[in-house]
């Protein structure tokens, strides 16, 4: 356990998970200031936005924080002639929030190299990655700069691949977790292992510290993760429901009112499998049977999700949340953090 604390430079082995598209400086900084590791998800961020957010994070906390990127898997589509066909399928959603159908952009997401160059400039304590094993060149560059690299596994085989690739620690994330299934060796649908089964098997298979994610929202979950051999925990949904989070009030309210069995894994919103509430948008897109490949679908739905967020229309947003949503009952990041910290073995009774 102390190994992870020393590795990440934190007082408590508690990571606030990154939220691609929904990260917020205030939340990440609050967790880092509390003695955990705040994370900021850089999905879709170009170099300029990464530099800006890095400056804000450094200004908000002198404690370690993580930046998170999605590695390319090679099957990402570039803007092409099908763009308008898939946009047309979403026309009712654009109409519902009062925006035009979005024209084809030059690119959907910035390339990895552009993001990494900016990450090196920001110099976070930790670079965490999803959807693959970082190249040796990336890991070497991070280490040369004193940056720790954390990979993310959904199966034992992925954890072994990450360990062999040279990462410093591994987030093992069960299928209970919110957001995308970040599988990279087999299709996400074939990589659905629950946290309770996954953690001890990953702990047995690798020698680097394992951070448990998925379904952990209070001290009981933290204690269970440590009992299974984890060296730390990564928590998403419970932090997303707090006042410091960038989630809209409709999203936060949905987290509090959605039962565990009402969350679903769906490709509807992004083209990749992710867990959230099955709201009107998810139901309608699934029923239409028309889902563009990633990242086209994510970009296209983003053009109505953003205004829907501004209008606080929960029915047309991505209401990402995990199966532990009903356990997310704390209002502030400090309250969530104190609750989680009380579950770490050796913590004073709270
Ligand atoms: C809105 C949202 C976006 C997320 N985006 C990312 C991401 O970009 N990168 C990542 O590593 N994890 C991402 N996650 C996963 C969380 O960081 C965390 O691992 C997960 O929520 C843990 O499971 P829990 O929600 O059951 O606590 C996201 C989760 C949510 C809710």
pLDDT along the chain (350 residues), means of 10: 86 98 97 98 98 98 98 97 97 98 98 98 98 98 98 98 98 98 98 98 98 98 98 98 96 95 97 97 97 98 97 96 96 97 86
Give the DSSP H or E segment for 264: strand 263-266
Question: Taking the model in full, what pTM does it have?
Answer: 0.98
Q: Is the CB of 233 under 6 A from ligand 1?
A: no
Report the C-alpha gap between 104 and 122 in whole angstroms. 31
b/e map 14-43, b = 16+ CB within 10 Å = bbbbbbbbbbbbebbbbbbbbebbbbbbbb
Dump pLDDT digits (tens) for 133-154: 999 999 999 999 999 999 999 9
Atom of ligand 1 nearest to the CA of 16: 17
Distance between Cα 107 and ligand 1 center (Å): 24
Task: Tell me the best of 14, 15, 18 to mutate to test the pocket of ligand 1, counting ligand atoms within 8 Å of each CB and taking the most.
Answer: 18
Atom of ligand 1 nearest to the CA of 238: 27
Report the C-alpha gap between 185 and 169 in whole angstroms. 18
- What 3-state class would DSSP assign to 232? strand
The predicted pLDDT at position 350 comes to: 60
In DSSP terms, which residues pair with 152 in a beta bridge? 171
CA distances from 49 to 56, 67, 68, 223, 285 (A): 11, 13, 14, 37, 31
Atom of ligand 1 nearest to the CA of 237: 25
The predicted pLDDT at position 348 comes to: 77
Count of other CB atoms within 10 angstroms of residue 66:
26
The predicted pLDDT at position 181 comes to: 98
The predicted pLDDT at position 10 comes to: 97
What are φ and ψ of residue 211, in 5° steps?
A: -110, 120
The predicted pLDDT at position 289 comes to: 94
Give the DSSP H or E segment for 265: strand 263-266
Rounded to 5°, angle at Cα 185 from 159 and 87:
125
The predicted pLDDT at position 266 comes to: 98
The predicted pLDDT at position 89 comes to: 97
Task: Tell me the best of 16, 236, 246, 337 to mutate to test the pocket of ligand 1, counting ligand atoms within 8 Å of each CB and taking the most.
Answer: 236
Q: Which domains does the chain have, with CATH numbers?
A: 2-72+111-247+325-341 (3.20.20.70)
Q: Is the CB of 270 under 6 A from ligand 1?
A: no
- Structural contact between residues 108 and 292, judged by C-beta atoms closer than 8 angstroms: no
Distance between Cα 181 and ligand 1 center (Å): 9
Count of other CB atoms within 10 angstroms of residue 78:
11
- Structural contact between residues 171 and 211, judged by C-beta atoms closer than 8 angstroms: yes
Residue 189, CB half-sphere, CA atoms under 13 Å: how many? Answer: 4
Atom of ligand 1 nearest to the CA of 276: 31
Atom of ligand 1 nearest to the CA of 239: 27
């Amino acid at each position: 356990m102390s190994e992870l604390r020393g590795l990440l430079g934190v007082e408590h082995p508690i990571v606030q998970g990154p939220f691609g598209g929904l990260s917020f400086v205030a939340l990440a900084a609050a967790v880092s200031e509390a003695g955990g590791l705040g994370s900021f998800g850089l999905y879709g961020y170009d170099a300029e936005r990464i530099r800006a957010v890095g400056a804000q994070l450094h200004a908000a906390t002198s404690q370690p924080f993580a930046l998170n990127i999605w590695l390319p898997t090679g099957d990402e589509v570039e803007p092409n002639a099908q763009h308008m066909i898939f946009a047309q399928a979403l026309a009712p959603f654009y109409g519902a929030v009062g925006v035009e159908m979005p024209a084809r952009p030059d690119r959907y997401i910035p390339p990895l190299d552009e993001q990494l160059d900016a990450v090196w400039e920001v110099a976070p304590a930790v670079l965490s990655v999803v959807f693959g094993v970082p190249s040796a060149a990336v890991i070497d560059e991070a280490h040369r700069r004193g940056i720790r690299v954390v990979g993310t596994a959904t199966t034992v085989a992925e954890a072994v691949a990450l360990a062999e690739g040279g990462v410093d620690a591994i987030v093992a994330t069960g299928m209970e977790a919110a957001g995308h299934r970040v599988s990279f060796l087999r299709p996400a649908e074939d990589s659905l292992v629950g946290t309770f089964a996954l953690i001890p098997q990953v702990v047995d298979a690798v020698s680097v510290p394992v951070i448990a994610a998925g379904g952990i929202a209070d001290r009981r979950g933290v204690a269970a993760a440590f009992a299974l051999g984890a060296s730390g925990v990564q928590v998403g949904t419970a932090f997303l429901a707090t006042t410091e989070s960038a989630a809209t009030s409709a999203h936060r309210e949905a987290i509090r009112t959605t039962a565990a069995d009402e969350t679903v894994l769906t490709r509807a919103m992004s083209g990749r499998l992710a867990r959230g509430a099955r709201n009107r948008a998810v139901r309608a897109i699934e029923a239409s049977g028309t889902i563009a490949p990633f990242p086209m679908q994510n970009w296209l739905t983003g053009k109505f999700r953003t205004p829907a967020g501004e209008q606080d229309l929960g029915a047309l947003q991505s209401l990402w949340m995990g199966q532990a949503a009903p356990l997310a009952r704390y209002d502030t990041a400090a309250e969530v953090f104190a609750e989680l910290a009380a579950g770490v073995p050796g913590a004073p009774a709270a």
